[in-house]
Structure 1
Amino acid sequence: MTTQTVADTRRLSPLLLVNLATLLSATGNGITVVALPWLVLQQTGRATDAAVVAGAATLPLLLSSLFSGTVVDRFGRRRTSLVSDCLSAVSVALIPVCAASVGLSVPVIAVLAALGAAFDPAGISARESMLPAATRAAGWRLDRVNSLYEANYNVAYLIGPGVGGVLIATVGAVNTLWVTAACFAGSIATIAFLRLDGAGVPDRATRPTSMWSGTLEGLTFVWRDRLLRTLALVDMVIVALYMPVESVLFPVHFTDLGQPAQLGWVLMAMSVGGVVGALAYGSLAARVRRRTLMLIAVSVLGACMVGMAFLPPLWVTLTLAVAVGLVYGPVGPIANHAMQTHSPEHMRGRVVGVMTSTAYAAGPLGYLLAGPLIDAVGLQTTFFVLAVPVGVIAAVCFALPALRDLDRP
């Protein structure tokens, strides 16, 4: 191996380490998504208890994601990633420990699930904030790195639930959580080897003085930047309208049909499309404007949701699901690029945290809307109620001048 080859490998190592840590951590979370509800149903057999645990794992994300960026900018990116994964690993490992010692109950599982969820956003924000420095070390284009990062993240959530299902069938739900803890441990070990500019403890002069003031500074910065403000608001509305489709409407539809396996196929089709779309963005960004890709994504999403609202045959639904993933795969890398290029180095964690928190806040709002609507007007009407506004938002996006900033230096 030549000296030049060794140098090139070293320049790529930060990027490889950040992506490997993200893959391991997100895969662990993907396994947990399957293992925790299964564990609760094994314990009590009541769907209500599973919903309680799911809610406990979701609600902390609203606040923790908002403050996570301040943690990153105050204590450092590498340290935050290490501590976040360590606390997540401990909270997950405590579940099988309790099962083997004092026994498990729904409140205990809910509390530990909430703790694990509360620690995750800080680690996610920390690793994402390291991407620009890793990009410079690798000598790659930022669009290419964001494309790889988002595809990597999607792959983790594609394989995590599948691995979780296999493990539950072979070793049981409780022992499966040891594998989740091992994934977090692998992420810790990976980041421990990372050496990257800007990943250490921030300079005292630039780091936030307190959690509250730092978070307020992040909120103010995002609101005053017209591109970030626009992306946050558009993302909030779309997430609120679309997330219930995956998490409420499709489960209700396929349960009514008595075809739970088909639900898995549709969700997998979306995930596969998302991976391909995110990877494609790396090459598309050099040829197509980011604003154009964003407008295509929102427009096709609205059209596909209207098509799904007719509750067509399975092959049509699968085609629409793949299309949604393909066109929306580039949106994550585009949003990452906007956050990275519109935020100063010392505030990047806070900007990422604030932008992420808007999506976490929107999801529960959509669930609260969808459930009562299905009971009141039926599944198909609810589908149209959610789908048509997405088409309206797409039309509005064409007129938003702020989105032109996506392609400005």
Structure 2
Amino acid sequence: MVKSPVPVFLFITAEAVALLANSAFLVVFPWLVLSHTGDAGKTSLMTALVTIPTAVATLLGGRVIDRIGRKPSSVLAGLGCAVAAAGFGVVSGLGALNIGTLIALGMLAQAFLPPSTTARDALMDAIASVGGISLERLAGIRQVVFSLTYAIGPALAGLLLTAISPIAAFWIIAGAWTFAALLTTGLPSGTSRKVSEAAITPSGSVWKLLRSRRAVWMAVVIGFGASVITQPITSVLLPAHFRDLHQPQLYGVSVSAFGVGAILGALLYAAVGAKAGVKLYVGGVLVTTAGIVAFALLPSFWILALGLALGGLGSGLLAPMLLVAVTRNTADNERGQALGVYNAASLGASPIGLGLLSLLLQRHPDLHAGAFAVLGVWALAAVYALTRPSVIVSTPGQQQAADTAAV
């Protein structure tokens, strides 16, 4: 097979465009709802309602990906997102924009977003092979793109809303999702792996798969542990902490410190991930833990910012490493389902973490209680992550032998 960098370029470009559109949607949708209703309470409720299809779509989307192929799934899901975004403009033009249509179109977009993400994740192994680079390097590059787009995407969307209406912004988002889908169609046909109906893991047996594949199960648990604390830190504890200090300007700087750390971690993994092995994995867990310990103390700004930067560095290392572990330790006909469960666990973790933190702070309003609760949750995940570090970084052959021996 002739190796070419073109598929890697197309894949990364499509990923960047789609992720920018995703992050812009998360800003423009609540802005449109607030502009339409004028009620912050309704905006919060409607924004929460439209996320309901996310977990279900992520789980079911993996099965669809395994059935019809990764590239077609990515293209169709991307076009589905584009149709939903364009729907806001169409409905507005017809004078039918109301609470019902806002919720319906928001849910439609959220139903297509997770499968599009999972399908691109499932494409990575084939893209790396065709492009002549290691899966670790491609995963690291993808994580850099992810961190950058979610850092600048909301800011770009905010600037966009100062110049044009939310409806006009949705037309641009629809165009971006369409462009990402068109880029994906340019990927080599070998990256679309359709499997027979008989070969697809039956519904429900994916849980048996997770129990029998240690690397996949560990990745799901660790990914959940990392995701369940991130949103409570960045969306609740940090803003409340700086509000109490009457220094709201430092909130954005501290979040940026986490983002910079995540980018550096992903760059490091892209550079040495294939060689460093267990040492890099253990280092990622320990650096993340050190960062969360520093955060939990709620110290002076510079120590807090350093802690968040360390947490971001560890996150940038671990996120692509876990994705590689799931990819490397699943067969073609089950990878979509496995990645669907992995992504569903990460997506579902945020509202769970926010809900539990809300209950805790209602009983114990002191922010230190919430900060130490976050530390406790991560400590459990970190201890589990360090029990068998070789499981995450083992080769497929090594892990298959271990899984077979354990059955």
Do they superpose with TM above 0.5? yes
Q: Which residue of 1 aligns with 2:240?
A: 252
Contact (CA 8 Å) 1:266, 1:317: kept in 2 or not?
Answer: yes
Q: For the residues of structure 2 that align with 1:286 and 1:233, how far apart are their CA atoms?
A: 23
1:406 counterpart = 2:399: no
Q: Which residue of 2 aligns with 1:333?
A: 320
Which residue of the other structure, out of 259, 265, 275, is the alignment partner of 2:263?
A: 275
Contact (CA 8 Å) 2:134, 2:274: kept in 1 or not?
Answer: no
Which residue of the other structure, out of 200, 215, 221, is the alignment partner of 2:209?
A: 221
Contact (CA 8 Å) 2:219, 2:392: kept in 1 or not?
Answer: no
Structure 2 unmatched runs, 5+ = 396-407
Residue 119 of structure 1, CA deviation:
0.7
Which residue of the other structure, out of 267, 280, 303, is the alignment partner of 1:293?
A: 280
Contact (CA 8 Å) 1:82, 1:123: kept in 2 or not?
Answer: yes
Partner amino acid for 1:388? Answer: G
Name the SS for the 1:271 alignment partner: helix
Moved more, 389-398 or 88-97: 389-398
Q: Which residue of 2 aligns with 1:182?
A: 175
Q: Which residue of 2 aligns with 1:237?
A: 225
Contact (CA 8 Å) 2:287, 2:313: kept in 1 or not?
Answer: no
1:394 counterpart = 2:394: no
C-alpha spacing 1:156/1:111, structure 2 compared with 1 (3 Å): same
Residue 146 of structure 1, CA deviation:
1.0
Q: Which residue of 2 aligns with 1:91?
A: 84
1:321 counterpart = 2:308: yes
Structure 1, residues 27-61: CA drift from partner, whole Å, max 9, x if none?
10111111112222222332222222321232221
Q: For the residues of structure 1 that align with 2:240 and 2:103, how far apart are their CA atoms?
A: 24
Contact (CA 8 Å) 1:74, 1:201: kept in 2 or not?
Answer: yes
Structure 1, residues 112-132: CA drift from partner, whole Å, max 9, x if none?
111111111111111111111
1:61 counterpart = 2:46: no
Structure 1 unmatched runs, 5+ = 1-6
Q: For the residues of structure 1 that align with 2:301 and 2:91, how far apart are their CA atoms?
A: 43
Moved more, 42-51 or 111-120: 42-51
Partner amino acid for 2:390? Answer: R
Which residue of the other structure, out of 102, 121, 124, is the alignment partner of 1:128?
A: 121
Residue 169 of structure 1, CA deviation:
0.9
Q: For the residues of structure 1 that align with 2:169 and 2:245, how far apart are their CA atoms?
A: 30
Q: For the residues of structure 1 that align with 2:241 and 2:101, how far apart are their CA atoms?
A: 32
Q: For the residues of structure 1 that align with 2:178 and 2:163, how far apart are their CA atoms?
A: 22
What pairs up with 1:43-82 in 2 under 5 angstroms? 43-82=36-75
Name the SS for the 1:201 alignment partner: coil
Q: For the residues of structure 1 that align with 2:100 and 2:242, how far apart are their CA atoms?
A: 30
Q: For the residues of structure 1 that align with 2:303 and 2:94, how far apart are their CA atoms?
A: 50
1:355 counterpart = 2:348: no
Contact (CA 8 Å) 1:134, 1:196: kept in 2 or not?
Answer: no
Q: Which residue of 2 aligns with 1:3?
A: none
- The two structures have a TM-score, normalised by structure 2, of 0.90
Structure 1, residues 253-309: CA drift from partner, whole Å, max 9, x if none?
3444555543333222222221221111022324422x3333333333233223223
Contact (CA 8 Å) 2:290, 2:307: kept in 1 or not?
Answer: no
Which residue of the other structure, out of 126, 131, 134, is the alignment partner of 1:138?
A: 131
Residue 386 of structure 1, CA deviation:
1.6
Contact (CA 8 Å) 2:357, 2:370: kept in 1 or not?
Answer: yes
Moved more, 97-106 or 128-137: 97-106
Structure 1, residues 201-235: CA drift from partner, whole Å, max 9, x if none?
33455345xxxx34x23332122111211221222
RMSD after superposition: 2.1
Contact (CA 8 Å) 2:82, 2:178: kept in 1 or not?
Answer: yes
C-alpha spacing 1:107/1:374, structure 2 compared with 1 (3 Å): farther
1:118 counterpart = 2:111: yes
Q: For the residues of structure 2 that align with 1:149 and 1:219, how far apart are their CA atoms?
A: 27
Name the SS for the 2:276 alignment partner: coil
- The two structures have a TM-score, normalised by structure 1, of 0.89
C-alpha spacing 1:338/1:396, structure 2 compared with 1 (3 Å): closer
Name the SS for the 1:329 alignment partner: helix
Q: For the residues of structure 1 that align with 2:306 and 2:153, how far apart are their CA atoms?
A: 23
Residue 313 of structure 1, CA deviation:
3.2
Residue 82 of structure 1, CA deviation:
1.1
Q: Which residue of 1 aligns with 2:369?
A: 381
Name the SS for the 1:197 alignment partner: helix
Partner amino acid for 1:284? Answer: V
- Sequence identity of aligned pairs in percent? 24
Which residue of the other structure, out of 285, 291, 295, is the alignment partner of 1:304?
A: 291
Moved more, 359-368 or 249-258: 249-258
Moved more, 250-259 or 186-195: 250-259
Name the SS for the 2:337 alignment partner: helix
Query: In the comparison of the two structures, how many residue pairs are matched?
Result: 393
Name the SS for the 1:102 alignment partner: coil
C-alpha spacing 1:228/1:205, structure 2 compared with 1 (3 Å): same
1:264 counterpart = 2:262: no
Q: For the residues of structure 1 that align with 2:11 and 2:307, how far apart are their CA atoms?
A: 33
Which residue of the other structure, out of 149, 159, 165, is the alignment partner of 2:152?
A: 159
Q: For the residues of structure 2 that align with 1:77 and 1:287, how far apart are their CA atoms?
A: 28
Q: For the residues of structure 1 that align with 2:130 and 2:18, how far apart are their CA atoms?
A: 23
